[in-house]
Structures are given as C-alpha cells and as structure tokens.
Structure 1
C-alpha cells in the first residue's frame, strides 16, 4: 500500500518521529513503540492518525509559505485578500492547482519521507498482528472496500472528531474560524502526494456506505467532510448501534440452539445444512426467506443459526422501520452498515408489509437489491410467499417454509410451555392430558401458545389478584381469546350455554350413537393424522366435515354448540347473506377470507341451512348458472383444504350435491321427535323456579301436538310470559291453559289452522276466549 511515498529519498534525516500529544508543543514526532505487533485497536488507530498528521504538517508549512506570511494576525480567519497576496500572484508564473513549485515541494519532502517510513512500520506491525486482535480501522477499510485515498480522507476527517486542536488547525488552514471540518479542496491539497482524489468523491465507498457526510455547499470543492457519528464511535471501540436505528432494531446475542427448536425434522435438517454451508463460505452472500405464520419459529431458527455460527443477530422490526423519520433508502443502508460493523446476520421481520399491493414497490426492490449486493447473511421473515425475479443471480437465495405445527409438535410445545403445577389452583390438572387437550383443540404456533399463557395469567389475576392461580378453563378461555374475532364480519359467534350437556339432548339411541362417533372423531382428529402417519399420505381432506340433517328445531344447532364447548373452542355460524354476493367472483373471495380467518380462529364452522351453498349443481343454461357452479366447485376445494371441523346443517339430505356428500365424513340424523321424545323435551324446558302442570298433562300435550324441540321452546317461553301477566300471587304458575294458548300462537306462526278437531272442545273454547 501507499507505494506513492516510496520514492521520496532525495533527502534523509535522522530526526526521530515524535508522538502527537495534547500536552506537547514540539514540531517533531517521537519514536514509535518498539513492539512488532499491535496489542489493541487503539494503538493501531493512534499510529494511523500520527501518520496522517505528517501530511497535515506538510500542508501547514505550505500554508505558511503561500498565504500566512502575507496576512496580518488581525485579519486571520476573515475572508480578505491582502495587497501583498495580489502582488505575489501577479509576479509568479502559472501553476496548475495540483502542482507545487519545486522549492516548496522540496520543503515538504521531509514530512512525506517521515510518512513513508512510518507507513512501512505500520504495515509490518499489522501483518504481524494476530487475527484474534480486531484492528477496527483496518476492519472498516476491509468491510467497505476503501481505497488508499479513501482511507486517507477518513483519517483526516477523523482528527477533528478526536482532538480539539485539529478543529482549530483546520480552521487556520482554511482561513475561516468557522470551518472546523476539512473541505474537499483542503483534503485534496493535504493529499497532494497521494494523487488526484476528486473523482473518488464522485463515486466513493465513503459516501455509498455513509461513512462520511458532506455539507450542502453549492460549490462542491467547498463542501465539508465529516465522519459519520457511528463510525467515530466504532473506531473508538463502542458497539452501541447507530442512534437512528436504536428505536427500530434489537441486537441479540443468541442463546437458542438446535435442541431448543420445536419444528418439523426435515426443516431442522435444512437449517443445519444451510448453516454448515455458511460456515464454510463466509465471504459469499446468503439470503434466506422464512415464510410462515406468526410465532411459527422463524426468529428462533434464525437465533439457532447465529448461535451455531457464533454471530450476533440484528433484528429489524418492520412496523417501527416504516415509521422511521429517515428515508427508506437511508434506513436500509444504515441497517446493513450496522450488520457489517457488528458481524451480525440481519433479520427483517414482517416483510409481508412490504409485499402488500398498496405499499410502494420500490421499498421491497431496494431492500432485496441491498441483500443481493452486500455480504451479509440476510433473513426475510414473511407470512406470504415470494420468489425472486431478476434478483440473486450471483448469490444464494433459499426460501424455507415454516408450516403450522402438527398435533405432535403442538403437544410438545404445550408440554414445554405449561407452567409448573404450583401455579395451578388445587387440584392441579394432569400436565400431559392438559397439553394433549389444548394441542388437539387449538392449532397454535409456539408464539401463540406463549401469548395464550400471558392472557391466561391475566384471567387468573382478575379472579384473585393476590393469588392468581391458573385453571384449565383459564387456558381454554385464553386460547379462544387469542384466536381472535376476525370472523365477525362473515360469521357470528354463538355463545355457549354452560348449563346444557349432552344429556339434555333428546335423540333416539341410534342417532345418539352417530353423535357419539362424531365426538370421538373430533377429540382424536389431530392424533389420527399426526401420530399414525396419515398426514404424510394425504395432501387434502385432513379436516372433518359433518352433516346434520333434520327438520328445524330438532337439535342441530344445540348439538354443534355442545361439540364446540366440549373441545373448548368457539362455534361460528356462517352468515350466508354476507358470504353470497351477486357480483361475479365476490362469493369465492368471501369464502376464501372466511376459511382463512376460521383457521386462525381455531373455531368450528357451522353452516346452517347449508342448502343455499351446498345445493346440487344445475344444468348450465345461462351465464349465471356457470358462475353458480364455479362457486360450488370452489367451495368443494376449500372444504378439502380446511384442516378444522365444519358442520353442515340441512333440512333435507337429498338437497345436498353428491360431490359434497362424498367428502362428508360423518352424517348425524336428527329425526322428528316421537311422543315420548317430545314429552322429554317438554319436561326439560321447565325450570324449578316456576310451577308447572302435572306430568300427565304434559304427556297429553306431547301426544296431541307433533312439534319439534324448537317449537316447544317457543311455547314454554310464551307460556311463562302469560303466567307472569296473569299472576295474582308472588309465585306465578304456568297452567295448562297457558300452554294451550301458547301452542295456538305457535300454530298461527307456522301457518297451521286452529280447529276444534285438533285441540278438542275445552281447549278450543280457551282459544276462542283468549285469541279468536
């Protein structure tokens, strides 16, 4: 390096080189330390500054000869030209700006020769220094590919940042007391023996990587050069990230290892192979694209890779980055510069934000261009897929999918994350059974599991702030809350009725066995596909589709409620009016959104009156028939892709398209109740808080009126209101007359005639008196 100084041998000197010291006024430099290596980065920086100081000394002598000797002291620092300066100019020959008079050059030779010898000594000591000693200035030079000239510029601009004497000296050399940083013109004069560096400022690595900043003077030569604050702190052995990045990034020293990851074995193997390749090819670019849902282990995987590579991890929080006051291009440059200085991998979270259609496309383009250009291990984390187009032809790009954890992994996540038994209210639940139940009910990622635990502790604290002990119910409720309510726009959450059980459901034994089979399939759904390997055999159809058939009011909705409550998940009833649209393509769009949100919500989806969506496809006679059939085909596809539980309710089984029937796993029939079943329903509707007719009277009603459970419910509610209205004592009573009149009103709602033959003489007389 710096061979341009090797030829200065016209004059020798035995004068020792002296150290630049704030307390020393000597014009000479003391000798260097006798060590053949550098023990610290600070020692190396001191010698580099001592070396560049010799060029500044030469410039000072030049200034004294050309300008200072004609300028009175009282005019120093003022932009004035003396008469003597004008006279000297008129009597001197033309000299090009980059030339020196031979006499002046001879006068400056001494400092340049001293610099040449010092340069050789520094180079020798650097070569002998162990690689384990990080020489920070040398590291900056290597990281950003600085030329010899650019390194000189950086050193000159560093001096006033580190020593106040140079701020005064540089002001003197520019004849302006306000100029405390070197201008481009002054730097060119100082580095005269190095060569013309004006072109270097036009396309300099110093500017590209923001190592220096230029003032905004209109005349380029007069722009001042200032070293960026982060570079000043770095060469002074300070590792705090750039203050412009601090609100946006987190610098992590990873403590996670391969054994800490709970991910698919094949994904773990891929990560380990990439890590091994990176350890053997540290100078080659590597960009990884981690695609997966929130909490799917992407950040943990990045930490494990960095721990294996003995690297730090610089995490950029995208939401904060987009709110940064800096321009996007500057922010990206600063982030990559910081990663280079820290020797860190760079992790960009939530990159799906940049891939949204409404987001400016150039943001993502600039970011990927920086990842391709710079030798920084970059990891993009996103929930959406992306493949490069026109990028990464000369560097390695790998996309890895982080799928939702299967049942086995979810159970492992819960077993690892569940708190100790001492944090549960006595008697504590069986840990493995609780983990199994939660893993089967909720398709959560590891991040969602930890969020649910935080929510559960908050629920426990509301119940007892002094002793916030958890229960299994707290965890189930927390999981439901974490699943969110994003389905509310397309479906309605049905609040579970906690007082009802399957014993309250009145079904014939054969139909009850159908329902019991469905309960078992829901309970072991995840285990069957995960533990027994069926998941690997099937690409579609991993969910569970059940069909409930029967007339209205026979218990279909109640059964769906009980199934959801037993699993500890929410039941969402699809709003068909919000799903079906008259506009082409809108129905499919709504269906796609609904199923995606349902998977996030870990809910059971209930299609009531499913005939509207799942009805038989008809012959295509008009354009609208074609679009209707397309909607049915799309619904078939989304049903097969859905991994949760879907319940279809239909009044008539024969109305369901055959293609849907082939995909249905379980059919539960809800027959119209017979007299005995209706009697049980009547009795089950009454509460102990109000008196009712004797059982014999109820049996008579059940035998006489063929009504479904839903109609019986309406009658009992109506009769209760009538009992309160006609009560003559504090304790009202539902009489047989109340029930008969309420039944008559229900008949009217159903459009059935009220006849003497149907009700009998006595009851019909009541109807005439109270209704007709």
Structure 2
C-alpha cells in the first residue's frame, strides 16, 4: 500500500512538472498580446528587459554551477526571485519530461495519441489543477477553460485532432462544450474518467460501474478447466487478430467464468464480465456504449467476457438480432483478442467466423474433488467417503457445493453435518416445474404404512437396497463400464387403482431421502409437434440434477404400445414414444412407472425395467389391517368392528377415503366415529364409483 501511494505521488509530481512546462508558452502569448505601441512605453519596456536580463544571467550561472562563488552584496544587484524560481521550475520540468507522468505516458501509448493530443490534455488538466493556467486562459481568450484556437496558437497541431474518429473524441477523453457555433472557440475540458486516470486513480466509467465485474479463478482448479483454457490460449495465439471470434459453450455461467478466469491467468491479464442484456436498444446509444466499453478494455489492458446467455433466454425483451450481432462484430474486430463470448448454445455472427469451445459439466470425479476441498473444515470424520457418495446422487456446480459445505460446517457433530449436506443438496436442486410435475419432499412414510403381501414388500425393499448400493457396484466394482443403458433404474408398478402403487413410490423416495417428482401426464401431452418431447426433457433434466425419484403415474398414457402408422398422427405419436424410450435409458436416477393395465405398456419399455411389482387387490386380512392403520390413535371411536369392515371388498385407497369421510361426518355431528357413520361413508363410496353394495354385508353395522 505504501509503495502504491509513493508511485501515485511520483506520478502526480511529474504531472505537475509537465503542466509547469506549458505556462511560459501561455505567458509569452499573453506578453505578445499586450505589446505597447507607444514609443515611450516601448523604450521603457526595452530598458526594463535589459535590466532583467542582466539580473537573471548571474543567477542562471549560479544555478547551472558556472559561478558557485557568486556573492550578491548590493540591493540593486539582487536577482528577481520570481524569475529565478521560474528558471529553476523550467529546468525541473525538463528533467521531469525525460520520464514524464507515468499514467499520462501510458494513456498516450495505449490510445496512440499524438504530441499535439498530449499537449491538449496537459492544457486541459492544467486548467483543472493550476489556478495560474486558468487565469492565463481567462486573460487570453476570455474564459477559464482552454479551446482549440488557443492550443493551435501555443502548439504545433491541426484542428483534425478533435474530429469524431480521433481518439480524443472517439474515446471521450476530452469533453467539448457545444455552446459556441465555432469548433475552434468551444471550451475544452477533461472527462472525469480521464482526470482520474491521469492523476493515478483509474475508475470505471459510470455507465459500466454497475454492469461489469472482475472474475477470478476459484479453488480447486480442475484439470478439465485448465485444458479448455489452454486451448483458448492456443487459438488466440494462432488465429490472426480480428479474423475470428471466440465463444465458450457451458451449461452454467459459473463454468464459463472459471475457464475464462483461467484463460486470463494464462495471458497474465485481468478479466471482467459484462452482460449483453445491458446493451441499449437504440443504435446511437449502442455506438456510445461501444466506445466506452472499448476505452475501458484498452485502458486496463484487460479481457472482457461477454455474457450472452440472459440475452438469449429473454425472448420478451430481445431486440433486433441483426443490430446486436453487428455490434458484437464491431467489438471483436476493433479489439481483436480482447473479448470472448459465453452462451449455453453456439452463436453465429453475420460475417465474422466464431470458434466454439465447449465446457463439459462437472463429472462425478470432478465433483468429488470439489467436495473434498470444501469439506476440509467441517466436523466430518470421513470427508472422503461423504465426498464420494454425494456426487452419485446430486449433480451440483462448484459454487453450489461451496455454499452447501459452508452452511453444513455450522453443524455441531459429524452425523448432523452429513444430514445437513444431504438436505441442503436436495433443497438446492429442487426446481419449480411449472405444473409439469408435483414435487413431494421426503416425509416419514415408512414400510408400516404399506399393507402388502410379503413378496411384494420384499421387491420394494430390493429397489431401495439397489439404489443405495449403486455407487459401490457401478463405480467401485466397475460394472458401470459394462452397462449399455446407463446407470439408471426403472421399475413398473402394476395393479388396479387404490392398491398402493403411488404410496409405495412415496415410501421408496422417503427411505432414500429424496424428492419425488410425480409427473402430471395431462400437462405433458401436447398437440403441437415436438412440444411433448421438450416438456419431457425439462422434467428429466430437473430430476437428473436433483437425484429425485421420477414417478410416471398412470404411465400407459405415455408409455403405451406403438401402433402401425396409418397417418401423420400415428407417426408423431410413435416418435414421442421412441424419444421417451431413449430418454428413459439415459436417465441415471430411479424412475417408477405405474399402470392399471400392464398389457398396455410397450414391450420395449418392459425389457428395460429392472423391477416389475404386481400390486394385487387386498384380501380380507390385508383389508382388516388397512382399516386399523387408517384410524389414527387420537380419533374418538365407539364400537368399531374391524372384522365386519373387512367384509367389504375395497382397495386400500378406497378404505382410506371411507374412513376420512366418516371422520368428517362424526366431527360435524359432534360424536365419535361409529359403525353407522362408516356404513354411510361406504354407501357414498359405492355410489361414487357406480357400484352396487350388498346390503347383507352391512346390515349388522
């Protein structure tokens, strides 16, 4: 910090020395403007000039070391101290000019300013920092700020220095007061940006201050990211400047920013990110924005990552695509090698070729590295073990992993840390599917809630066991290399309505501590070609990232048999089924299909199912147990006979509906649940389903 302050102070002193160099020029022009024509006055002036010359000469010899023994003894021989000080100042200025102001030198070099441009800047900043210069300007041209006419009188230059294409005006280094009709007479001043830059305190322009941000490479550095960054460096080195634009293709801005920061590190330059969404819609404003952005990139000698993703996503506010692409081409052409784009899909410009560099998502091994790095400061006893399990279930980004590990580090024990890591990972990836699926959080729905035959329950428990051991078998034991259909699991639950298929799916998800995505099939099927596939892909992607259990209830509506093509409708319907088959194969999580009609499911799906569980209609013993479990302990009852209730042939779902209906009737009449109320509820259930109730079965209730 002290060294920085010293450099800044040295720069400022050198700048003042350069400003002092132009004051004698202004004084000479002021003296020339005030020459007296009166003969007497002219003679007096000449006499005074001769006297001053005689007085200054010895002082100059003394300063230059030619007469070190000079002794001034008489008052009238004492040199004019003001003139001596000016002479010393001029000599100091000449010495400073050999090095000059570092920041002014840098500005002139980067923007290729001429000597006249530099003198114009000095004249303008002198009027800002030195009251004498503003006073001289006032005496010479009647205003405290200089103008082009004054600069042309003092320095050797041309009025074209203030044309719109020259750097002083194009990059808005100077501000021109447009109040005067003549360009030569318009007052000139430094822009605020230029003033801060030259004086050693560079700032980002106000137009960009809130919309460009520096980006840095975050730890840990993954080898895959370094490989892409090195390829970018090679492309930039081998491609002639201005002949090609570079684009990063990534699934998230985080991945693009990381690779871009590594690329900048290889170039030993800073990098900033700017969002294309901030580009004005007006063409004139776009041009002004381009100039300001170019000025910032040149002055800082930095790289700029243009984030195009939000522009592509925002269909409502997207403006003229031609104008945007033309603007990007100008930016890449005028600042070759300093910019690159990012979007999730390839972009093409109008004339300038674009070279795309794709960044893959974090694979399991890379996620494990990130988890291990961020779990070092937690209370976990075996962080390596935890870091190897989480990536198998959740597909997280580096930033999400960092945030989750930071939150979980506040836990008070190792077991609590594990619980929090799992919970936060699940919640981080939960998505709003906008009506395409219902998301159920894992709640306490245990095996006791399911009343099923022993074999069926064992099959369900086998699904859970396989899901829990998939990491060991597939990754550690190497079976993943031999699985042609991916690492996913698929199960079919077949049986009549109300036999517990959906409840079984929720039980499995709860045992695995995962969300359950229950797909709303009515919102999936779309009459427009290709829309069904888009909606399915969105659901599968959300489920893959979150590790959720995917439930297709009443799946025969989507997974039905393909038919012989009779017309275009059959052809496109078969295409949807084929797409669904391919997507189900590549899905790495657990997917469950339920159906009332097993025979309606396409055989191609059946061959890829790891489990098929047939849910049979409950017998009398199962129905009695379901009646018992449907009645909460706190519920007031009177003379309930479960054996009589089990006579009625109802499914598990229907039994729960009857019990709930009887409870509402009991609450309304302020009495406990009785067999009479249950009879009324049973009659309503049969009436609802248009079935006939055998009165002999309920006559003794």
Q: Please tell me the TM-score bracket, short chain as reference.
A: 0.7 to 0.9
Aligned to 1:711: 654
Q: Is the 8 A contact 1:296 1:403 kept in 2?
A: no
Measured after TM superposition, the shift of residue 501 of structure 1 is: 0.7
Structure 2 counterpart of 1:221, from 180, 184, 187: 184
Structure 2 counterpart of 1:493, from 432, 436, 439: 439
TM-score by length of 1: 0.70
1:443 aligns with 2:395: yes
Q: Is the 8 A contact 2:488 2:585 kept in 1?
A: yes
1-structure distance, mates of 2:427, 2:406: 11
Summarize the Cα distance change of 1:307–1:581 in structure 2 as closer, same or farther, 3 Å threshold. Answer: closer
2-structure distance, mates of 1:529, 1:385: 32
1:186 aligns with 2:150: yes
1:558 aligns with 2:533: no
2-structure distance, mates of 1:533, 1:225: 74
User: Aligned runs of 1:498-509 on 2, under 5 Å?
Assistant: 498=444, 500-509=445-454
Summarize the Cα distance change of 1:388–1:282 in structure 2 as closer, same or farther, 3 Å threshold. Answer: closer
Q: Is the 8 A contact 1:609 1:650 kept in 2?
A: yes
Aligned to 1:389: 349
Aligned to 2:75: none
Q: Which range is displaced more, 531-540 or 305-314?
A: 531-540
Summarize the Cα distance change of 1:56–1:527 in structure 2 as closer, same or farther, 3 Å threshold. Answer: farther
Aligned to 1:266: 224
Measured after TM superposition, the shift of residue 282 of structure 1 is: 13
Measured after TM superposition, the shift of residue 650 of structure 1 is: 1.2
* Alignment coverage as a number of residue pairs: 638
User: Aligned runs of 1:225-374 on 2, under 5 Å?
Assistant: 225-251=188-214, 254=216, 256=217, 260-261=219-220, 263=222, 265-272=223-230, 274-275=232-233, 288-294=246-252, 296-307=254-265, 309-316=267-274, 327-349=285-307, 351-353=309-311, 356-357=314-315, 358-360=317-319, 361=321, 362-363=323-324, 365-374=326-335
Measured after TM superposition, the shift of residue 663 of structure 1 is: 4.4
Measured after TM superposition, the shift of residue 55 of structure 1 is: 5.3
Summarize the Cα distance change of 1:535–1:140 in structure 2 as closer, same or farther, 3 Å threshold. Answer: farther
Structure 2 counterpart of 1:587, from 532, 536, 553: 532
2-structure distance, mates of 1:562, 1:613: 24
3-state SS, counterpart of residue 517 of structure 2? strand
Q: Is the 8 A contact 2:18 2:122 kept in 1?
A: yes
Aligned to 1:409: 366
1-structure distance, mates of 2:124, 2:552: 72
1-structure distance, mates of 2:503, 2:627: 16
2-structure distance, mates of 1:689, 1:39: 81
2-structure distance, mates of 1:716, 1:575: 27
1:147 aligns with 2:107: no
1-structure distance, mates of 2:358, 2:537: 21
Aligned to 1:17: none
Summarize the Cα distance change of 1:680–1:293 in structure 2 as closer, same or farther, 3 Å threshold. Answer: same
2-structure distance, mates of 1:507, 1:575: 26
Aligned to 2:425: 479
2-structure distance, mates of 1:379, 1:674: 68
Structure 2 counterpart of 1:650, from 566, 586, 595: 595
Q: Is the 8 A contact 2:171 2:295 kept in 1?
A: yes
Summarize the Cα distance change of 1:233–1:722 in structure 2 as closer, same or farther, 3 Å threshold. Answer: closer
1-structure distance, mates of 2:667, 2:395: 48
Q: Is the 8 A contact 1:686 1:692 kept in 2?
A: no
Summarize the Cα distance change of 1:46–1:616 in structure 2 as closer, same or farther, 3 Å threshold. Answer: same
Measured after TM superposition, the shift of residue 323 of structure 1 is: 12
3-state SS, counterpart of residue 488 of structure 1? coil
Summarize the Cα distance change of 1:377–1:749 in structure 2 as closer, same or farther, 3 Å threshold. Answer: same
Q: Is the 8 A contact 1:313 1:346 kept in 2?
A: yes
Q: Which consecutive residues of structure 2, in runs of 5 or more, have no partner in the other structure? A: 1-7, 39-86
1-structure distance, mates of 2:473, 2:27: 82
2-structure distance, mates of 1:328, 1:533: 56
2-structure distance, mates of 1:537, 1:378: 44
1-structure distance, mates of 2:547, 2:307: 24
Q: Which range is displaced more, 139-148 or 368-377?
A: 368-377
Summarize the Cα distance change of 1:662–1:276 in structure 2 as closer, same or farther, 3 Å threshold. Answer: same
Measured against aligned partners, the alpha-carbon deviations of 1:105-151 in whole angstroms (never above 9, x if no partner) come to: xxxxxxxxx9xx9999789945xx9xxxx932222122122234433
Summarize the Cα distance change of 1:724–1:149 in structure 2 as closer, same or farther, 3 Å threshold. Answer: closer
2-structure distance, mates of 1:456, 1:328: 46
Q: Which range is displaced more, 342-351 or 229-238?
A: 342-351
User: Aligned runs of 1:17-36 on 2, under 5 Å?
Assistant: none
TM-score by length of 2: 0.76
2-structure distance, mates of 1:435, 1:620: 50
3-state SS, counterpart of residue 593 of structure 2? strand
Q: Is the 8 A contact 1:160 1:166 kept in 2?
A: yes
Aligned to 1:748: 687
Q: Is the 8 A contact 1:551 1:670 kept in 2?
A: yes
Summarize the Cα distance change of 1:618–1:286 in structure 2 as closer, same or farther, 3 Å threshold. Answer: closer
Measured after TM superposition, the shift of residue 688 of structure 1 is: 2.7
Structure 2 counterpart of 1:207, from 169, 177, 198: 169
3-state SS, counterpart of residue 203 of structure 1? coil
User: Aligned runs of 1:632-711 on 2, under 5 Å?
Assistant: 632-640=577-585, 642-690=587-635, 698-699=642-643, 701-702=645-646, 704-711=647-654
How big is the alpha-carbon RMSD for the aligned residues of Structure 1 and Structure 2?
A: 4.5
Aligned to 1:624: 569
Summarize the Cα distance change of 1:157–1:456 in structure 2 as closer, same or farther, 3 Å threshold. Answer: same
Q: Is the 8 A contact 2:556 2:601 kept in 1?
A: yes
Aligned to 1:35: none
